[in-house]
Amino acid sequence: MSDDLFRYVLRLADDHLILGQRLGEWCGKAPSLEEDLALANIGLDCLGQARALFTYAGKVEGKGRDEDDLAFLRPEREYCNALLVEQPNRDFAWAIARQFYFSAFMLPFWRAMGKSTDDDLRAIAAKAEKEVAYHLRHSAEWVIRLGDGTEESRRRMIAALEELFIYTGELFEMDDVALAMVSEGVAVDASELRDEWRRTVDGVLSEAHLTAPEAAYDQTGGREGRHTEHLGHLLSELQYMQRAYPGLEW
Amino acid sequence: MYSQGLIGADGRTDEDEAFLAAFQERIDAEMKIEPNDPMPEGYRKTLVRQISQHAHSEVIGMQPEGNWITRAPTLRRKAALLAKVQDEGGHGLYLYSAAETLGVSREEMTDQLLSGAAKYSSIFNYPTLTWGDIGAIGWLVDGAAIMNQIPLCRCSFGPYARAMIRVCKEESFHQRQGYEIMMTLARGSDEQKAMAQDALDRYWWPSLMMFGPSEGSSVHSSQSMAWKIKRFTNDELRDKFINATVPQAEYLGLTVPDPDLKWNEERQSYDHGEIDWDEFWRVVKGDGPCNRERLRNRTRVHEEGAWVREAALAHAEKRRERAEAAKIAAE
């Protein structure tokens, strides 16, 4: 139980840290000051969620690892975030598409997690749900603006939505760890959230006068530590200080 | 959005002696000047210059610290740094809004920044080479900014004074965070102590330069003082900063890189060594270590974001047209 719970919480923590890191890369680079603030804001929410989840994962594991040990001292094969969140920023449409797909999943996820038998996860879910509602609104509005904006913005929005679509299937994936947690009443059966997610995505895309992509296949592997080539570079940067100067206070 | 109504408004004033005297009387009575009040053209221009350069400094200032967000050594520090840089973007927004009340648009101000016509604080042309620099910037650069900005909370122009009240609260929080980083380093390993000392060595003089040139060569000083845009001279503020900061450095066990720094009992103030004004002017005129990099980045961000801003405009226009069409159809 506790090993499965550890792995389950760690996945969630990794998702949020990696996405927070990607959003942090936008700092000072957004198309307007207002968007700089918005992306930093979402990034901060993700980081906050990651920290709460890492701290809880460390407690469940019981080996004395804190949020920083878990974030900075695991190599890429031990990271278990979804592939979607590690995708690079490329352009603003990519950042928006990635955020939109992810937030459209996380909102019903946290809502369902509000019924978890696990007190810590329930508490984290209650806070996260409010934040994600804002993230979803922000990214959905931009999908609509870009999709129904100029010819160029429409082209870029379509490209980002289509290219990232193959990574969305992984969000609904259920393996032994997740199933064991569902049977304990701790976890959410992500596969049951697929229809709601699809309705959210289709609704926003139709408002943007876009058609929802179909995936030829789902690219997965993140939960088992099989990532895209992007993650290693992200972690090199993220972990540099702790690797260079281990075991210190900062 | 009361500022928007003023853009393009006729800023001319009838500046006869009676007008100027009446204006000065209001200033001397410590009355706040508000956007719709008549004001001398020189007063308006000085404020536009100063507030917009202040706004630009906040925006350009996001770069040296933003440089360390992805590499911050702990999650707590990463979150604090990201929040801080976000605050700076917010300060930029307040300040652009305050400047807009004087009849200049954010677009015009941005163009002036990117063309090099408008300046920003010289400090942001120095690179952040180690994590120690993030501590030094919080401690020294934000510390110097606070010394400059606290008197601006009483500036005669209302919108600027009010923006400064809010900015100062956040800045002093950042400054404490920066000092806390320095303290952690100073109490840490030998490598960390060396990192802290090195950061102080590199940021000390550039921080002193943030107060601007000495009185003799400060063109804008006397008129700004009379108009109560400025409340203290550059050297007065610089002394205040040094007097507050030297004991902090001592507390950290760090050495201020100025062999001529000495307490002057008579003045009850530190005497300091000569500032390298050649370096200062070189940096202000565009030849500092990072000037080109900072502007290149800002220009690239502006250009790369154009399609997004155009999309937002085009979409807003489409919405407006649709709403109008729907309204006509309903009639």
| Structural element, H or E, at residue B264 | strand B262-264
**Cα distance from B77 to chain A (closest Cα, Å)?**
8
Query: Please, are residues B164 and B153 in contact by the beta-carbon 8 Å criterion?
Result: yes
Hey, are the CB atoms on A152 and B63 less than 8 Å from each other? no
Q: Give B85-119 pLDDT, tens digit per residue.
A: 999 999 999 999 999 999 999 999 999 999 999 99
A245 to chain B, any CB pair closer than 8 A? The answer is: yes
b vs e for A204-224, b when ≥16 Cβ sit within 10 Å of the residue's Cβ?
Answer: bbeebebeebeeeebbbebbe
Residue A108: which CATH number? Answer: 1.20.1260.10
Position B287, amino acid:
D
> Which pair of structure tokens corresponds to residue B55?
């706004």
Q: Residue range A69-97: average pLDDT? A: 98
Structural domains of chain A, count: 1
CB contact under 8 A, B75 and A150: no
The answer to whether residue A105 sits within a structural domain is yes
Question: Is A250 contained in some domain?
Answer: no
pLDDT in tens, B6-35: 334 444 556 889 999 999 999 999 999 999
CB of A140 within 8 Å of a chain B CB? The answer is no
Per-position b or e across A23-35, b if 16+ CB within 10 A of its CB? bbbbbbbbbbbeb
The answer, for A71 touching chain B at a CB cutoff of 8 Å, is yes
Q: What residues make up the domain containing A146?
A: 2-244
Which pLDDT belongs to residue A215? 85
Answer whether residue A113 is part of any domain. yes
> How does the average pLDDT of chain B come out, rounded?
93
Cα angle B56-A156-B311, degrees, rounded to a multiple of 5: 50
Contacts of A62 (CB under 8 A, 6+ apart): A2
Contact A31 B305 (CB under 8 A): yes
CA distance B66 to chain A (A): 6
| Structure tokens, B147 | 């010394």
Task: Give the residue-averaged pLDDT of B137-157.
Answer: 97
Test A27 with B62 for CB contact under 8 angstroms. Answer: yes
Tens digits of residue pLDDT in B67-93: 999 999 999 999 999 999 999 999 999
Closest-CA distance of chain B to residue A153, Å: 6
Count helices and strands in chain B by DSSP H and E runs? 14, 2
In a domain, A249, yes or no: no
Cβ distance of B308 and A32 shorter than 8 Å: yes
Q: Does residue B231 contact residue B223 with C-beta atoms inside 8 Å?
A: no
The reply to whether ipTM tops 0.90 is yes
Contacts of B190 in chain A (CB under 8 A): none
- Nearest CA to B213 out of B139, B165, B136, B285 is that of B285
How many whole angstroms separate alpha carbon B293 and alpha carbon B201? 22
What is the rounded distance in angstroms from the CA atom of residue B278 to the CA atom of residue A112? 64
Cα-to-chain-centroid distance, residue A193: 15
Q: What distance in Å separates the CA atoms of residue A193 and residue B3, rounded to the nearest whole number?
A: 46
Residues in chain A closer than 8 A to B85 (CB atoms): 27-28, 40
Q: How many CB atoms lie within 10 A of CB B278?
A: 8
Taking a C-beta distance cutoff of 8 angstroms, is the pair A46, A82 a contact? Answer: no
Residue B305 and residue A241: Cβ atoms within 8 Å?
Answer: no
Q: For B210-261, what is each residue's pLDDT tens digit?
A: 999 987 655 667 889 999 999 999 999 999 999 999 999 999 999 999 999 9
The three-class DSSP label of residue B235 is helix
Place of tokens 């610089």: B238
Between CA B232 and CA B230 the distance in angstroms is: 6
pLDDT tens digit sequence for B295-327: 999 999 999 999 999 999 999 999 999 999 999
Confidence category of residue A1, pLDDT binned at 50, 70, 90: low
pLDDT of residue B157: 97
Backbone φ/ψ region at B8: left (φ over 0), alpha (ψ -120 to 50), beta: left
Phi, psi of B275 (to 5 degrees): -80, 145
> pLDDT tens, B34-65?
999 999 999 999 999 999 999 999 999 999 99
What span, in angstroms and rounded, lies between the C-alpha atoms of A91 and B151?
42
Written as six digits, the tokens of B298 are: 């800002």
One-letter identity of residue A157:
M
User: Cα(first)–Cα(last) distance of chain A, in Å?
Assistant: 34
